[in-house]
């Protein structure tokens, strides 16, 4: 007997795999291959509409679409999709993701919008970290940035020692860099790289795209300071895993 819910769940898993693989290929500049996987993910999401098992499926498909566009770096489409969700739902995750996309555009006015959204979302660890990331771009008040840095450090201290979040150290690096504290910035991005590499044995926790990003940031900062370059083997390991 045909199980609509099971088929929908399998399709949802497939589009997720296509999206994640496309994101990694884009990061390592295999653009044409990445486009194929992103396009495939969107095609699967469209097919899910015909086998939607319940009313919750529509929101799930919208979430899936904006995440594909987000990782494809089609930011206008991603912002449009997630904004439609924030207009009809008070779910904080949508606003958090909208803020993250706005920050990632690296357009000052968008980052400023994200900062203002985040200020009204409470004090969860993710919101504090996202606010710190936005502040590293739009905030000139050193006292305020140091206050956010202190809050971020408290989040880091409270983080699970066996499951550290590399994103927190990445944001700490950005804040320190924006305060011209270059050595602490390099130390923090080193820690982000170390933690992300430790996750590499588990496909579900390892984020190859961010791993590449952290290594690239360290290379750029090290070159600017005339210090040693990052371990290129780290990046090569991630690329070989994705190619397997």
pLDDT tens track, the chain, 244 positions: 468 888 999 999 999 999 999 988 887 788 999 999 999 999 999 999 888 877 777 888 999 999 999 999 999 999 999 999 999 888 889 999 999 999 999 899 999 999 889 888 877 888 888 888 888 888 787 888 888 888 888 888 887 777 788 888 998 898 888 888 899 999 999 999 999 998 887 766 777 778 888 999 999 999 887 765 445 444 444 444 443 4
Count up the domains in the chain and report the number: 1
Q: Is residue 108 part of a domain?
A: no
Q: Is residue 101 part of a domain?
A: no
Whole-angstrom distance, CA of residue 135 vs CA of residue 191 = 21
At 67 the three-state DSSP class reads helix
Locus of tokens 């319940």? 54
Q: Is residue 69 part of a domain?
A: yes
Q: Is residue 216 part of a domain?
A: no
Q: For the whole prediction, is pTM greater than 0.95?
A: no
User: How far from 235 is each of 193, 203, 217, CA to CA, in Å?
Assistant: 10, 16, 12
Q: Is residue 30 part of a domain?
A: yes
Burial class (CB in 10 A: 0-12, 13-18, 19+), 31: exposed
Determine the structural domain holding residue 12 and report its residue range.
1-89
What is the per-residue pLDDT for 120?
A: 85
The alpha carbon of 114 is separated from its chain's Cα centroid by a whole number of angstroms, namely 14
Q: Is residue 36 part of a domain?
A: yes
Q: Is residue 137 part of a domain?
A: no
Q: What is the CA radius of gyration of the chain?
A: 19
Q: Is residue 24 part of a domain?
A: yes
Locus of tokens 């300071």? 225
What is the per-residue pLDDT for 4?
A: 83
Residue 111 has which token pair? 């980052």
């Amino acid at each position: 007997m045909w199980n609509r819910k099971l088929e929908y769940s399998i399709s949802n898993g497939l589009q997720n795999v296509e999206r994640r693989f496309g994101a990694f290929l884009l990061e390592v500049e295999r653009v044409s291959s990445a486009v194929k996987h992103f396009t495939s993910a969107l095609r699967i999401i469209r097919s899910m509409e015909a086998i939607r098992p319940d009313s919750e499926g529509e929101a799930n498909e919208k979430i899936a679409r904006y995440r594909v566009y987000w990782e494809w770096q089609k930011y206008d489409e991603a912002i449009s999709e997630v904004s439609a969700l924030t207009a009809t739902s008070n779910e904080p995750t949508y606003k958090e993701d909208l803020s993250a996309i706005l920050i990632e555009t690296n357009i000052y006015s968008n980052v400023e919008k994200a900062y203002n959204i985040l200020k009204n979302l409470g004090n969860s660890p993710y919101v504090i970290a996202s606010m710190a990331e936005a502040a590293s771009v739009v905030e000139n008040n050193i006292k305020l940035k140091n206050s956010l840095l202190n809050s971020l450090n408290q989040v880091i201290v409270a983080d699970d020692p066996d499951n550290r979040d590399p994103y927190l150290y990445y944001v700490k690096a950005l804040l320190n860099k924006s305060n011209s504290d270059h050595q602490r910035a390099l130390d923090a991005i080193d820690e982000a790289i170390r933690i992300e590499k430790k996750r590499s044995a588990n496909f579900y926790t390892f984020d190859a795209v961010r791993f590449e990003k952290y290594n690239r940031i360290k290379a750029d900062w090290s070159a600017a300071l005339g210090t040693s370059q990052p371990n290129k083997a780290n990046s090569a390991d991630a690329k070989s895993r994705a190619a397997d």
